[in-house]
């Protein structure tokens, strides 16, 4: 029985090798910070161009405690990984992909989840292509997460925290 488990785990790791996975926290953070996101009903996709010149798409999967208990989170992540495995030929390009499971991901029908995945992936690819065309290979001097010039010599004005009675007017 032990050999059967080892054979099964070998098959699973061959289908989804470590080279196809995002494993380090810094990689996840880079995708969240630099990437494009697409919201679906059961999943959220984040995609960012790879730093390396790999030709494969690397996948990272997350499920927060909002999704459910440990059993539900694990099932959601397994379903998402299987979606990716079955649709690897569909996912062309070279980018890092992080998929966050949302509530209901473990319960929804497979066909609906697959449809959602394809729709979100199509939108993500088009947004990544637009981003790469608009940014080109030059750095325009902007830090895109806060829309401020990075190289300007002027200090950034820090505003005091709002008091509870302030209305903003």
- Residue 49: Cβ-neighbour burial (10 angstroms; 0-12, 13-18, 19+): middle
Q: Can you give the pLDDT of all 169 residues of the chain as single tens digits? A: 455 554 444 444 446 677 788 889 999 999 999 999 999 999 999 999 886 666 678 899 999 999 999 999 999 999 999 988 887 654 567 788 999 999 999 999 999 999 999 999 989 988 988 887 776 644 444 444 444 444 444 554 555 555 665 555 5
DSSP 8-state class, residue 43:
E
Helix (H) and strand (E) counts for the chain? 4, 6
CATH code of domain 18-134:
3.30.230.10
Q: How far apart are CA 154 and CA 169, in angstroms?
A: 27
Q: How far apart are CA 116 and CA 138, in angstroms?
A: 34
Instruction: Please state the domain extents for the chain.
Output: 18-134
Q: How far apart are CA 100 and CA 41, in angstroms?
A: 11
């Amino acid at each position: 029985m032990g050999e059967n488990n080892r054979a099964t785990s070998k098959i699973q790791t061959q289908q989804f090798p470590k080279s196809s996975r995002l494993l380090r926290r810094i990689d996840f953070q880079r995708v969240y910070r630099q990437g494009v996101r697409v919201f679906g009903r059961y999943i959220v996709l984040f995609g960012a161009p790879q730093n390396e010149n790999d030709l494969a798409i690397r996948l990272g999967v997350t499920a927060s405690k909002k999704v459910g208990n440990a059993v539900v989170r694990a099932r959601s992540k397994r379903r998402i990984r299987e979606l990716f495995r079955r649709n690897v030929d569909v996912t062309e390009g070279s980018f890092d992909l992080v998929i966050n499971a949302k509530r209901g991901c473990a319960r929804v029908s497979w066909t609906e989840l697959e449809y959602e995945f394809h729709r979100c992936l199509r939108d993500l690819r088009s947004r990544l292509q637009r981003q790469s065309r608009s940014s080109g290979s030059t750095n325009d001097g902007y830090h895109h997460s806060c829309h401020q010039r990075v190289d300007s010599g002027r200090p950034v004005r820090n505003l005091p925290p709002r008091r509870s009675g302030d209305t903003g007017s």
